[in-house]
Amino acid sequence: MAGALQFLSGCRKCCNLGDDKNDAADGGMTYLYDESAMPMPLHQEHGEQTTLEAPSAVGLAQEALPQDPIAPPVVSGDRDLQLQDDEGLEERPETVFQMGAKYRGQWKGIHPHGQGFLSRTDGSSYVGNFVQGRAHGHGKLVAANGNEYEGQWDQDRADGYGVYRHEDGSTYEGQWRQDAKCGTGSERWSDGSKYEGQFLDGMKHGTGTYTSNQNVVVFTGQFNHDKMDGHGKYTFVDGRTYEGAWLKGHMHGEGMMQWPDGSKYSGSYWEDLRQGQGVLTWPDGRVYRGEWNKGKQHGTGVVTDPNGNEKKGTWENGLEVTSKDLVEE
């Protein structure tokens, strides 16, 4: 055959970090707000390439008797015309090919053409439409290991709309292009979690939503080659939420983090840590506006207490080293 199916490559899940904590340490007048808990970028347990272990649908040229010519490719753009052309089709008895594959169904000349059923010695099978000896149109492939694909085919490759079911219970339903998830689709895992959105070349790419097996939306936003990238909102297991810019799976750029206790940070991030200018608000009304480095106050900043009194100071690695009251003129 022209090549086995290469779909379901990079079936990765997003997930929360199991030991996320709200690391908002706040003691006295030390405005230390350490941020060591980060979002988990993408679950890797489904990261390997996944392929049906049997040849795709047909590849009858490889099973053919020596005197049979190789099936020519279907001319691009002629799919509908080829599928509707049933002139000269005939039913024949079951044919056994040189390597043991068996075919029964319609033929056109020397090629399986029309509806047919192909079984192989390894236990895999295909039933559906053939054009010039290749899976073309609608059909269902069952691999020897139990994996299944049912949907549209283009010259032995999954192409169009189809459903893939893996032996472990995970599924993908949506659009395909040349054996890869491509377009809009829904991927579900055996634990109940799911991703719904856009794909490109087998990877999450574009806008999508990952939902946990507790039916909680963990992330909704933009993906780039299986990583959170662009604008998106992430919900941590401890109830925190981050909404803002992402880069290659990390909080990176302008964003806002909110805690269940009412705390809030709005400002700049660099690889999951506060970096640059930002504003942190505590539940009791205190506010810090100023510089951050590696997740901690570092540089100059201004603290406003709940009564509106302001104090300017200098921080090093989260600790206040100098301060001066600001008096309104």
Whether the Cβ atoms of residue 265 and residue 278 lie closer than 8 Å to each other: yes
Is 139 in the same domain as 198? no
Rounded CA-CA distance 256/279 in Å is: 10
* Longest CA pairwise span in the chain (Å): 100
Is 220 in the same domain as 150? no
The reported pLDDT for the residue numbered 85 is 59
Amino acid at 241: T
pTM for the structure as a whole:
0.76
Residue 36 placed within a domain = yes
The reported pLDDT for the residue numbered 322 is 87
Is 6 in the same domain as 101? no
Is 25 in the same domain as 65? no
98-142 pLDDT, tens digit per residue, is 889 999 999 999 999 999 999 999 999 999 999 999 999 999 999
Residue 295 placed within a domain = yes
* Domain of residue 31, residue span: 1-50+175-329
Is 129 in the same domain as 259? no
Of 145, 165, 185, the residue that ends a domain is 165
Rounded CA-CA distance 193/181 in Å is: 18
Which residues of the chain carry a pLDDT beneath 70?
A: 1-86, 326-329
Is 158 in the same domain as 245? no
The reported pLDDT for the residue numbered 327 is 59
SS3 content of the chain, % helix, strand, coil (to 5): 5, 50, 45
Is 247 in the same domain as 161? no
Residue 170 placed within a domain = no
The reported pLDDT for the residue numbered 317 is 94
Is 43 in the same domain as 184? yes
Is 84 in the same domain as 20? no
Residue 117, domain CATH: 2.20.110
Pairing of strands 111-119, 125-131: antiparallel
Where does residue 75 rank: exposed (0-12), middle (13-18), buried (19+ CB within 10 A)? exposed
Of 165, 198, 230, the residue that ends a domain is 165
The reported pLDDT for the residue numbered 326 is 67
Rounded CA-CA distance 3/56 in Å is: 7
Tally of structural domains, the chain? 2
How many C-beta neighbours within 10 Å does residue 65 have?
Answer: 10
CA end-to-end span of the chain, whole Å? 83
The reported pLDDT for the residue numbered 325 is 77
Residue 227, domain CATH: 2.20.110.10
Residue 321 placed within a domain = yes
Of 115, 131, 165, the residue that ends a domain is 165
Rounded CA-CA distance 62/65 in Å is: 9
